[in-house]
Amino acid sequence: MAIKTNKGISMDGKRTMTMDEFKQWLKRFDANKDGRISKEELRSTVYETGERCGRWKSWCGIRSADADGSAFIDKNEITNLVDFANKYLGVRILHV
């Protein structure tokens, strides 16, 4: 488990969030407010974190999290993004 600092950043430099905080954070990128995250919306998330190669990384994120093959990540698939967030978004999800 990551050690939280007082600013929500773990010792390895990753932003730390609970699963609820992560879901709320992702909602900010749901541009059309349809309750799903598209590849383009996920790309915005990647770029906001300062990562490069947003097009490729967003494609990988959708591919890894989209369990039903709809090309969107819905509320039931957000938990599938935890590994992606850790690897590409610099976010560590705390399981509390």
The pLDDT tens digits of the residues spanning 34-60 come to 999 998 888 888 777 776 677 778 888
Decide if 24 is inside a domain: yes
Nearest CA to 37 out of 26, 53, 52 is that of 26
Domain of 58, in residue numbers: 15-94
pLDDT higher than threshold 70 for residue 24? yes
Which residues contact residue 39 at a Cβ distance below 8 angstroms, ignoring those fewer than 6 apart?
Answer: 58, 59, 62, 71
Kindly report the backbone phi and psi dihedral angles of residue 5, in degrees, each rounded to the nearest multiple of 5, phi listed first: -95, 180
pLDDT digits (tens, 9 = 90+) for 4-18: 444 576 666 778 999
Contact 61, 37 (CB under 8 A): no
Token pair belonging to 89:
């978004």
Residue 8 lies in a domain: no
How many whole angstroms separate alpha carbon 75 and alpha carbon 66?
A: 11
Q: Give the number of domains in the chain.
A: 1
Q: For residue 60, what pLDDT is reported?
A: 82
Residue 54 in any domain: the answer is yes
